Amino acid sequence: MDAVVACDEKGGIAIRGKLPWHLPEDLKFFRDITADKVMIMGRKTYDAMPKRLCHERTSIVFSRRGLNDDQVHVVDGMEACLDVVGQYPGKEACVIGGQDIFTLFLDQGLIDQVYLTRVKGVFPADRFFPLEKVNGWNEILLLQREDFLTDLTHGGGFRCVSEGAEIQRSRRVKLQGV
């Protein structure tokens, strides 16, 4: 499975239920990467997402307490999630977060590719991507951009990256921004 994430230099992904930054170009990248895939997310990520996007895609939402949305698949754990993924044999699955869900899937060895946007700098954050779990993975730089400074709300640099390099079927991190 793939995962897609944007994090700062310390792995920060969110603050008080929101993204720490506003990077429209990265949101577009996210939409492109997840198009036609089954999106797997935690309930709080679902809460933070535009509902239309969740409903346009096949979405699986992890929740222990349940959710009132019959346009997504709600699962209470990994077994139920993999059952739903199995219902879409022709589709790839992509884990989109947040912290607990990234950790769960990485710990179980289910992620073999991470599309990673590295946002330069350290932002106030209370949720994190576990960067240490992909330490040492093969990194493929996809595209480097250095002209996104005006997109940042909190200062710092950003280099956007998108596809291009040769893809090998090994564990890898696709770097988006360094």
Ligand X SMILES: NC(=O)c1ccc[n+]([C@@H]2O[C@H](COP(=O)([O-])OP(=O)(O)OC[C@H]3O[C@@H](n4cnc5c(N)ncnc54)[C@H](OP(=O)(O)O)[C@@H]3O)[C@@H](O)[C@H]2O)c1
CA distances in angstroms from 146 to 123, 157, 158, 176, listed in the order given: 18, 7, 6, 11
Binder to ligand X among 99, 113, 162, 176 (CB under 6 A)?
99
Binding piece for ligand X, criterion CB under 6 A, among 14-22, 32-40, 142-150, 168-176 = 14-22
Binder to ligand X among 45, 59, 162, 176 (CB under 6 A)?
45
How many whole angstroms separate alpha carbon 166 and alpha carbon 177? 17
In whole angstroms, the minimum distance from the beta carbon of 177 to ligand X comes to 12
Contact flags string 55-94 toward ligand X, x per CB under 6 A? -------xxxx----------xx-----------------
Give the CA diameter of the chain.
Answer: 44
If binding is defined by CB under 6 A, does position 113 make contact with ligand X? no
In whole angstroms, the minimum distance from the beta carbon of 136 to ligand X comes to 21
In whole angstroms, the minimum distance from the beta carbon of 90 to ligand X comes to 25
Tell me how far the alpha carbon of residue 168 is from its chain's centroid: 20
6 vs 58, beta carbon nearer ligand X: 6
Nearest residue by C-beta to ligand X?
98
Binder to ligand X among 33, 54, 72, 104 (CB under 6 A)?
104
If binding is defined by CB under 6 A, does position 169 make contact with ligand X? no
Tell me how far the alpha carbon of residue 122 is from its chain's centroid: 18
Binding site for ligand X (CB under 6 A): 5-7, 13-14, 17-19, 41-45, 48, 62-65, 76-77, 96-101, 104, 127
